């Protein structure tokens, strides 16, 4: 099925597209009920009406956006070696985030959103 996320990913170079497709699959595994959407011009996932995470690519790196500064801080030790900012984890296509770490970050965001609800 063609989605807006699929269209965005199709426009990327092969290495970035492959890395982000793996990231997308890990997100889907962690949050199978989440729906795909576009937010801030990025492929994203929403759960129960609340933005969960987003991802994308620039010319120099791929990015995973947990849409939460606390998610990055809470996993700072596991994110050593990756460039981070308050709400972004940057990585190179040949050194992607592990599926286990992505699932952990997504589960953290699910719990965080549930607390705020």
28 membership: H or E segment, kind and range: helix 14-30
Main-chain phi, psi angles of 88, to 5 degrees: -145, 145
What does the angle CA 58 – CA 19 – CA 27 come to, to the nearest 5 degrees?
105
pLDDT digits (tens, 9 = 90+) for 88-103: 999 999 999 999 999 9
Task: Quote the CA–CA distance of 80 and 60 in Å, as a whole number.
Answer: 19
What secondary structure letter does DSSP report for 27?
H
pLDDT per residue as tens digits for the range 57-113: 999 999 999 998 899 999 999 999 999 999 999 999 999 999 999 999 999 999 999
- What is the residue whose two structure tokens read 């956006």? 65
Strand order in the sheet with 83-85: 35-39, 42-47, 50-57, 62-65, 88-91, 83-85
Which token pair is 22?
């793996």
What residues have CB less than 8 Å from 81, skipping those under 6 apart? none
What are 109's two structure tokens?
Answer: 């965001």
pLDDT of residue 53: 98
Cα–Cα distance for residue pair 27/47, rounded to 1 Å: 12
pTM, entire model: 0.94
């Amino acid at each position: 099925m063609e989605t807006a996320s699929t269209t965005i990913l199709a426009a990327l170079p092969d290495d970035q597209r492959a890395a982000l497709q793996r990231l997308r699959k890990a997100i889907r595994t962690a949050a199978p009920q989440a729906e795909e959407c576009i937010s801030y011009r990025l492929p994203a996932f929403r759960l129960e009406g609340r933005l969960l995470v987003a991802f994308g690519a620039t010319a120099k790196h791929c990015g995973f956006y947990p849409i939460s500064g606390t998610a990055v801080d809470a996993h700072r030790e596991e994110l050593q070696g990756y460039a981070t900012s308050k709400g972004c984890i940057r990585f190179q296509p040949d050194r992607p985030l592990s599926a286990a770490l992505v699932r952990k970050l997504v589960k953290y965001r699910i719990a965080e959103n549930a607390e705020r609800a």
